[in-house]
């Protein structure tokens, strides 16, 4: 259904574009062979046609029609009242313009409307898509869309079975400076590399996320004892020993460092996923 | 230049037609401004308190449609204990009374009153039926719905919201839309005509002068005003236009509220359409005849604009159109000579183009009304549907004059349902 609709809309745009080309061709021919150029008023009228097109395209069909009504009324009245006193017969081009003005303004208004409809549809589809996509395209890690809902799930496991749910947040230290030195494309590569390292180092059942909004990695894992700190140290060591490829030699010299924050879920201190996240974020401040 | 009496006559009629076109251009523009104001600055329209409202439904032989109408009014989005529904079953000969009784039994907890009248106290038209209903009602505000209406759920709330937030509003009118618009060519034309009438004549006049004409359905009016003016005028066959004039003359305005909409059934064949429109035209002549004195009254304010508008449409435009057509035919046949014929052709063309654009502009303001089929209908409407209007205006005028001469009482023709 949706697909059909899109097709219909693009066909409509094709049709209106074709019609506009045909009309412009006709306008040019009639203007040249009808010797419209001999009358100075026709220059102003053709200017008004173009203004009508612009108004129609950037506003809507209602304003385009209103413009045509006002123009036609003023234009025809002028001819009737000025020429009646001078007894000059009314030329056929007066009728011609009275049809051309609304025709062009409406055509452009329709074109503008349909293009806007497509843009709106595109925007809403993108938004919808973002909401559905749970996995980050670049790194293959789960994204922030799934983070909070799944974090809540881990908190519930803790409540029911008593297993400790840990949240570890990982961030590149001096991130802004690093980006400034090496540029965004290279930094993106480093993030991809980091994420694959984190993925490799941790167990299959640990959940790894990339939180692009806050430039962090999030790891949720379950432990029996209080050994979250052990995982944290292991991760830091691994990253420190990480060998970068040649193209990231600059980083190698700079020694990439990471900040890690760790929090274990405690149902007495935390009631929701966001508070749990804030706890881990706060802990990051102590990783100096 | 002007050479003979026909030239002068033609110029005079051209000028009258031009004035009417000008008025319509002004109304189209202000209608558009009103539309922009209503839909660009839409605020939250929640009611703080729900005043008690009486909904009156005059019905004469409406068994076919009354059940659905009542159901939609019972389901309105308004506190159930804050509105009563009074159906005035006015001298019906069909089984309306049974249908209504069953409805009353089905909804015992709702404030639903049925007044059945016979040919002694009832059967004297809509105004009389409304006066009977008014006597039984308790509401601070009175709302009227025709018996074939399906108001949208929020229709009543929107009307109440508008009137309680505007102390100078004597009445507030909503929109009416055509429910059976896809039935045939005639109903499609009526649908476009009603859109045009509401966005140009109603919204346009509201924007310019705070003037509207009560459309006979989907409107709210203050009880205090009805008591002050002694209810509806039973002699008027278009009681709505008549009461509008009396509200203006009390110094109140009539507000236009496009957020409130009610869907109604329109005539599906020409004979029903002719009878209904004939009643409207006659009714409007009656209102003009009754109120023309205010045209010269300085205190009448903007009422004078409305009078000029009606006079221009029903008298000047009509006479001018006939005169110019006659001169055109006589000139064409070689009986008379005019030198300004070419200008009347341009004026006619202007009227046609502006008519097409104005109907198009009003249909573009409603969702789903911009379509190729509607555009094609608008193009032929001028030569078909509008010509019927000219016939109705002429017939209505003759009939009104006859009533006046022979002192006949105007009869209320009830629109047949489908």
Between residues B82 and A137, the one the model is more confident about: B82
Q: pLDDT tens digit string along B83-111?
A: 999 999 888 888 888 888 888 888 888 89
- Cα-Cα-Cα-Cα torsion A66, A70, A73, A76, nearest 10 degrees, comes to -110
Q: State mean pLDDT over A47-54.
A: 94
Q: Could you tell me which residue, A57 or A83, shows the higher pLDDT?
A: A57
Residue A30: other Cβ atoms inside 10 A = 13
SS3 call for B412: coil
CB atoms near residue B62 (< 10 Å): 25
Q: What is the pLDDT of residue A4?
A: 52
Q: Where are the alpha helices (DSSP H) in chain A?
A: 2-33, 40-58, 61-86, 92-132, 144-161, 175-182, 184-201, 228-240, 249-254, 273-284
ipTM value > 0.95: no
Mean pLDDT of chain B: 84
Domain boundaries, chain B: 5-30+297-405, 44-280
Q: Determine the Cα–Cα distance for residues B357 and A62; give it in Å rounded to an integer.
A: 10
Burial class (CB in 10 A: 0-12, 13-18, 19+), A209: buried
CA dist A94 and A106 (Å) reads 19
Is B18 at the interface with chain A, CB within 8 A? yes
**What confidence tens digit (pLDDT) does each residue in B13-57 have?**
778 778 888 888 898 889 888 888 888 777 778 888 889 999 999
pLDDT at B52 (0 to 100): 92
pLDDT band at B242 (very low <50, low <70, confident <90, very high): confident
The number of residues in chain B equals 418
User: pLDDT higher for A64 or A257?
Assistant: A64
- The answer to whether the Cβ–Cβ distance between A90 and B1 falls below 8 Å is no
| Neighboring chain A residues of B346 at a CB cutoff of 8 Å | 76, 79-80, 90, 94-95
pLDDT at residue A22, as a whole number: 92
Give how far A98 is from chain B: nearest CA, Å: 8
Mean pLDDT of chain A: 83
Chain B residues with CB under 8 Å of A99 CB are 353
pLDDT at A251: 59
The answer to whether the CB of A263 falls within 8 A of the CB of A163 is no
Q: What is the pLDDT of residue B1?
A: 57
Average pLDDT score over residue span A181-188: 79
Q: Using a CB–CB cutoff of 8 Å, tell me whether B33 touches chain A.
A: no
pLDDT of residue A1: 45
Burial class (CB in 10 A: 0-12, 13-18, 19+), B343: buried
Task: Looking at mean pLDDT, say which of A143-147, A180-184, B73-77, B324-328 comes out highest.
Answer: B73-77
Query: Could you count the other beta carbons within 10 Å of the beta carbon of residue B308?
Result: 14
CB of B186 closer than 8 Å to CB of B265: no
* C-beta pairs of B223-228 under 8 Å, 24+ apart in sequence: B223/B54, B223/B137, B223/B139, B223/B140, B223/B141, B223/B142, B225/B170, B225/B171, B225/B250, B225/B252, B226/B134, B226/B142
Query: How far is B303 from B26, CA to CA, in rounded Å?
Result: 17
Say which CATH topology domain B44-280 has: Spore Coat Polysaccharide Biosynthesis Protein SpsA; Chain A (3.90.550)
- Give CA–CA dist B243/B222, Å, rounded: 12
Number of residues written out for chain A? 288
What is the C-alpha to C-alpha distance for residues B285 and B241, in angstroms, rounded to an integer? 10
Say whether B346 and A80 touch across the interface (CB within 8 A). yes
**Which residues of B are less than 8 Å from A65 in CB distance?**
357, 360-361, 364
Give me the pLDDT at residue B414, please.
61
Question: Tell me, what's the pLDDT at B159?
Answer: 92
Give the pLDDT confidence of B141-188 residue by residue, as tens digits: 999 998 888 899 989 999 999 999 988 999 999 998 888 888 889 999
Share of chain A above pLDDT 70, in %: 93
Measured at the CA of B83, the angle between CA B79 and CA B89, to 5 degrees, comes to 140
Place of tokens 């193009």: B379
Pick from A126-135, B77-86, B106-115, B364-373: least confident: A126-135
Contact A280, A262 (CB under 8 A): yes
Is B343 in contact with A102 (Cβ distance < 8 A)?
Answer: no
Of the candidates B11, B339, B350, which has its C-beta nearest A76's C-beta? B350
Specify whether the CB–CB gap between A228 and A264 falls below 8 A: yes
pLDDT at B366: 81
Q: Count of CB contacts below 8 A, A vs B?
A: 70
Q: Do B29 and A70 touch (CB under 8 A)?
A: yes
- Structural domains in chain A, sorted by start: 2-132 (no CATH), 142-284 (3.30.70.270)
Contact, B20 vs B313, CB < 8 A?
yes
- What is the spatial distance between Cα A203 and Cα A188, in angstroms, rounded to a whole number? 24
What single DSSP character describes residue B315?
A: I
Q: Specify which of A47-61, B177-191, B403-417 reaches the highest per-range mean pLDDT.
A: A47-61
The shortest CB-CB distance from A84 to any of B340, B345, B370 is to: B340
DSSP B110-179: S-EEEEEE-TTTS-S-HHHHHHHHHHH---SEEEE--TT-EE-TTHHHHHHHHHHT-TTEEEEEEEEEET
pLDDT digits (tens, 9 = 90+) for B331-382: 778 777 776 666 777 877 888 888 888 888 888 888 778 888 888 999 988 8
Distance CA A117, CA A128 (A): 16
**For residues A197-217, average pLDDT:** 81
Axis crossing angle, helix A175-182 with helix A184-201, rounded to the nearest 10: 130
């Amino acid at each position: 259904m949706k697909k059909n609709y899109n097709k219909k809309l693009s066909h409509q745009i094709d049709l209106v574009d074709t019609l506009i080309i045909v009309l412009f061709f006709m306008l040019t021919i009639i203007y040249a062979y009808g010797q419209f150029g001999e009358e100075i008023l026709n220059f102003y009228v053709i200017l008004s046609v173009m203004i009508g097109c612009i108004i129609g395209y950037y506003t809507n069909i209602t304003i385009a029609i209103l413009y045509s009504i006002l123009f036609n009324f003023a234009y025809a009245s002028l001819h009737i009242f000025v020429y009646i006193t001078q007894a000059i017969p009314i030329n056929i081009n007066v009728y011609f313009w009275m049809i051309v003005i609304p025709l062009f303004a409406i055509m452009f208004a329709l074109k503008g409307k349909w293009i806007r409809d497509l843009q709106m549809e595109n925007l809403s589809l993108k938004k919808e898509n973002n909401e559905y996509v749970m996995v980050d395209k670049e790194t293959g890690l789960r994204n922030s869309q799934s983070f909070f809902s799944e974090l809540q799930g881990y908190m519930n496991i803790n409540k029911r079975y008593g297993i400790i749910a840990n949240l570890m947040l990982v961030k590149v230290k001096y991130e802004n400076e690093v980006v400034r030195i090496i540029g965004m494309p290279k930094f993106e590569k480093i993030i991809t590399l980091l994420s694959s390292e984190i993925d490799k180092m941790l167990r299959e059942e640990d959940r790894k996320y990339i939180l692009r909004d806050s430039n962090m990695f999030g790891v949720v894992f379950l432990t029996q004892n209080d050994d979250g700190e052990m995982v944290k140290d292991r991760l830091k060591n691994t990253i420190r020993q990480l060998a970068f490829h040649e193209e990231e030699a600059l980083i190698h010299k700079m020694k990439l460092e990471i900040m890690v924050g760790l929090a274990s879920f405690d149902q007495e201190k935390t009631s929701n996923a966001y508070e749990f996240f804030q706890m881990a974020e706060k802990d990051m401040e102590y990783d100096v | 230049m002007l050479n003979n009496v026909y030239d002068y006559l033609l110029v005079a009629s051209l000028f009258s037609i031009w004035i009417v076109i000008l008025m319509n251009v002004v109304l189209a523009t202000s209608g558009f401004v009103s539309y922009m104001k209503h839909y660009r600055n839409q605020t939250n329209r929640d009611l703080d308190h729900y005043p008690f409202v009486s909904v009156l439904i005059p019905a004469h032989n409406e068994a076919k449609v009354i059940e659905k109408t009542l159901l939609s009014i019972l389901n309105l989005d308004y506190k159930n204990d804050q509105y009563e529904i009074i159906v005035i079953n006015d001298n019906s000969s069909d089984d309306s009374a049974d249908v209504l009784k069953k409805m009353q039994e089905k909804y015992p907890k709702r404030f639903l009153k049925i007044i059945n009248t016979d040919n002694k106290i009832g059967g004297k038209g809509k105004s009389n039926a409304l006066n009977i209903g008014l006597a039984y009602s308790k509401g601070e505000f009175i709302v009227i719905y025709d018996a074939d209406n399906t108001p949208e759920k929020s229709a009543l709330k929107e009307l109440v919201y508008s009137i309680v937030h505007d102390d100078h509003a004597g009445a507030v009118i909503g929109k009416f839309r055509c429910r059976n618009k896809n039935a045939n060519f005639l109903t499609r034309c009526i649908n476009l005509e009603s859109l045009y009438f509401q966005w140009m004549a109603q919204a346009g006049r509201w924007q310019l002068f705070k003037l509207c004409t009560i459309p006979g359905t989907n409107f709210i009016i203050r009880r205090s005003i009805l008591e002050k003016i002694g209810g509806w005028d039973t002699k008027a066959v278009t009681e709505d236009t008549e009461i509008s004039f009396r509200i203006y003359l009390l110094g109140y305005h009539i507000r236009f509220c496009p957020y409130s909409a009610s869907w109604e059934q329109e005539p599906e064949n020409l004979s029903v359409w002719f009878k209904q429109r004939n009643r409207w035209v006659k009714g409007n002549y009656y209102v003009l005849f009754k109120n023309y004195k205010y045209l010269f009254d300085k205190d009448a304010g903007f009422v004078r604009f409305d009078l000029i508008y009606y006079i221009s449409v029903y008298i000047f435009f009509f006479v001018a159109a006939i005169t110019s057509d006659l001169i055109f035919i006589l000139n064409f046949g070689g009986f008379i000579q005019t030198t300004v014929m070419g200008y009347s052709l341009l004026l006619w063309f202007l009227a046609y183009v502006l008519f097409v654009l104005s109907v198009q502009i009003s249909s573009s303001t409603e969702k789903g009304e911009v379509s190729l089929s509607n555009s094609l209908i608008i193009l032929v409407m001028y030569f078909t549907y509008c010509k019927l209007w000219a016939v109705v205006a002429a017939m209505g005028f003759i009939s009104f004059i006859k009533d006046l001469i022979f002192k006949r009482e105007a009869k209320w023709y009830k629109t047949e349902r489908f």
